Amino acid sequence: MVRFIARLLPVGGLALWLCLGGALAQTGDKLPAAPDYLGEIRRGADGRLVARPEDAISVQAIVPATMMVGPGEKITSIAEAARQARDGEVIEIRPGVYRGQPTVWTQNNLVIRGAGERPVMLADGKSAEGKAIWVVRGGKVRIENIEFRGARVADLNGAGIRFEKGSLTVRGCTFFDNEMGILTANRSELSLEVVDSEFGDAPRTQGDLHHLLYVGAIGKFTLRGSRFANGYLGHLVKSRARENHILYNMLVDGAGGKSSYELEFPNGGVAYVVGNTIGQSAGTDNPRLVSYGAEGPKWPENALYMAHNTLINDAHAGTFVNVRSDRMGADVEVWLLNNLTVGAGDLYKPSQGRFDGNRSVGRHELVDLGGIPLKLTNLSPLRGAVRPPGQAPGMELLPDAEFVFPVGTRRMRPTSLLAPGAFQ
């Protein structure tokens, strides 16, 4: 039987089947039928075996590498790897600090991933094309488990990654001390997905704005399970995309942060903002947490759908959500449903749309998670106080996941005692 299963499953899937088979057999029919694929077993940087669930991996992640890069390999530099890479390569980078190796990637259907402990791309005063540590200008590209640090350029917008063509997925990466974490071009055919990644520590540069993540006028932007903190004068997340999916993230500036907006959509577009925690520091440079339409519309369709977010203001006053209907038009559609606000501030009430289930609480009414007041107590009278938010055009607004520290999400199913905010 084992030999038969071995012919059907990849190595990781076989290992997990062997580990779990006995336990599942003992439960009888008390559990639902197991999915065809549960995940895989991998060896971590410390040498221990770690089970990774299905939603933490990708099909690309289990494809064997076609090129190895780093100490002890035939190819030791990132630039040389980019020069030799061909369409369809799966490139693994060994752990280590790669100093001053700026790179331009132009290949299509490319997977670049760190092997084991996350390798660090340290700018060390150098940049590719005066833009970034890495410039991505291929077709379909996926980058996993890489750290980008210290990007600086003459224009003061040096990015960890400058994304200019095709579609890009960034998963499990970190961006620290860059003038911009990720910066995209303004091309409507581009799509960007950022998953389970961390952005922080904007440079303390006076007279310029350094956004941790700056998405230009692209077609689609998805941000999920990621964490942002310690901005400075610029925004944590700024997007001019036509379509935005901001799901289950932790956008909390922190005590040392001094960002402007935590989340901004300056040109409107369609924005689905569900299950996020968005927090403004006491030292904020701007009293607004979420801003929509400050520069007027760019796209033909414009709507803001915010449901089950927790909005925290540590400043003495502020605005939780600010919609510039004077620039977007009074008929712009805005739904604010089942959001939980903490601290002093105003919540925009739209003239066109839905406004229901939003509640305010004091910090003492919340349980800390990761040092941040996030979850209502079990005895909170707000449990069961709101109704399911329903569907916006094109998307279900009832959350089916929650953020988990330090990054990532876990699936969850809300009970009949539905509560406002990002955590049930």
**Statement: the pTM of the whole predicted model exceeds 0.95:** no
Q: How many domains does the chain have?
A: 2
Do 31 and 85 belong together in one domain? no
Is the pLDDT at 22 greater than 80? The verdict is no
Residue pLDDT, tens place only, 59-81: 444 688 999 999 999 999 999 99
Q: Are residues 19 and 167 in the same domain?
A: no
Question: Are residues 162 and 17 part of one domain?
Answer: no
Report CA torsion sign: 342, 346, 352, 356.
positive
Q: Is residue 67 part of a domain?
A: no
- Same-domain pairing of 121 and 27: no
Structure tokens belonging to residue 146: 């890489």
Q: What is the DSSP string of 34-100?
A: PPS--EEEEE-TTS-EEEEEGGG--TGGGSPPSEEESTTSSB--HHHHHHH--TT-EEEE-SSEEET
- Does residue 243 sit in the same domain as residue 384? yes
Question: Could you list the residue range(s) of the whole structural domain that residue 157 is in?
Answer: 74-411
Q: Are residues 153 and 20 in the same domain?
A: no
List the one residue out of 165, 181, 169 whose CA is nearest residue 141.
Answer: 169
DSSP 370: T
Residues 329-344 have a mean pLDDT of 94
Q: What is the pLDDT of residue 8?
A: 38
- Kindly list the strands in the beta sheet with 263-265, ordered across the sheet, starting from the edge strand earlier in the chain: 103-105, 132-136, 159-163, 180-184, 213-215, 237-239, 263-265, 288-292, 319-323, 346-347
Average pLDDT over residues 320-327: 94
- pLDDT tens per residue across span 148-176: 999 999 999 999 999 999 999 999 999 99
Residue 282 lies in a domain: yes
As a whole number, mean pLDDT of residues 355-373 equals 93
Quick one: 178 and 312 in the same domain? yes
Residue 244 backbone dihedrals phi, psi, to 5 degrees: -130, 130
Res. 36: pLDDT tops 80: no
What pLDDT sits at residue 228?
A: 98
Residue 66 inside a domain? The answer is: no
Token readout for 338 is 């089942």
Give domain status of residue 210, yes or no: yes
Residues 216, 238 contacting (CB under 8 angstroms): no
Give the whole-number percent of the chain exceeding pLDDT 70: 85
Query: Following DSSP, what letter does each residue of 299-342 receive, concatenated?
Result: SS--EEEEES-EEEE-SSS-EEEEE-HHHH-TT-EEEEES-EEE
**Residue 51 corresponds to which amino acid?**
A
Return phi, psi of residue 304, to 5°: -120, 120
**Residue 197 is encoded by which pair of tokens?**
């990644």
Q: Is residue 258 classed as helix, strand or coil in its secondary structure?
A: strand
Q: Within this chain, do residues 283 and 156 fall inside the same structural domain, yes or no?
A: yes
114 — pLDDT class (breaks 50, 70, 90): very high
- For residues 133 and 369, which has the higher predicted lDDT (pLDDT)? 133
On whether both 33 and 82 belong to a single domain, the answer is no
Query: Are residues 49 and 80 located together in one domain of the fold?
Result: no
Q: Are residues 50 and 81 in the same domain?
A: no
pLDDT of residue 209: 85
Average pLDDT over residues 5-22: 38
pLDDT digits (tens, 9 = 90+) for 273-310: 999 999 998 888 788 999 999 999 999 999 999 999 99
Q: Picking from 42-51, 66-75, 346-355, 415-424, which range would have the lowest pLDDT averaged per residue? A: 42-51
Mean pLDDT of the chain: 87
Q: How confident is the model at residue 331 (pLDDT cuts 50, 70, 90)?
A: confident
Query: Quick check: 20 pLDDT over 50?
Result: no
CB atoms within 10 A of CB 1: 6
